[in-house]
Amino acid sequence: MPTTALGNFRVLDLSSDIAGAYCTKLFADYGADVIKIENPGTGDPIRHMAPFFKDDPHIEKSLTFFYLNCNKRSLTLDLDTEAGRAVLLDLIVKSDAVICANPPDYLEKLGLGYECMERINKRLVLTTITPFGNFGPYREYLGSDLLYYAMSGMMYTSGAYSREPLKHGHPQSYYMGGITAAYSTLAALFSRNFTGVGQHVDLSLQECVAAHHYDSAARYSYTGTV
């Protein structure tokens, strides 16, 4: 028996942004075996993100990277090579979930889409985190924290009435997305334990922020305030 809440699970982290890294951090903090896949040479992009320890911009001194990736293991793989993809496929066979926060066609271009993963591990849960989801008219669009706030309507509810909309401080949309991805993946794993079959969880960062309007409609209906 595991001694931690999620000690039974192995999770592969293929993300390249805060949302995916925060999602897998939550898994790792609760005891899951999380393996972070990094690019050779440059490492994960978050390694280049400030602030740095003693203001030294070194890939081993990013405090953001340390916060988001504590309790994980790290593996360098060149997924543009056949050998790198072969190692990843071997890991997928032995894993419970894959978290991928990259452009919508990232896995397909590598020949590693959900259909491929499902063939070799039908129990696998794949969670993809993208700006606007894998389907729909905005599928190919790039995104940012500011865009998610503006297009979700969250900015409309922030700031003073007499001034323009105001975005919250801190890139909250990425952390909202990370939390949502974590509990959505856990729900899929819970279902898998009954059905024996995994699934693809398709998560849009813009929709995650829009979902935080859960109390706005009720507040406006009863008080007339935004």
pLDDT in tens, 77-107: 999 999 999 999 999 999 999 999 998 889 9
Q: What is the pLDDT of residue 2?
A: 67
pLDDT beneath 70: ranges in the chain: 1-2
- Largest Cα–Cα distance in the chain? 61
Q: What is the pLDDT of residue 41?
A: 87
**pTM of the shown model:** 0.92
Cα dist from 81 to 181, 187, 211, 223, whole Å:
29, 33, 39, 59
Q: Which two tokens stand for residue 90?
A: 């071997």
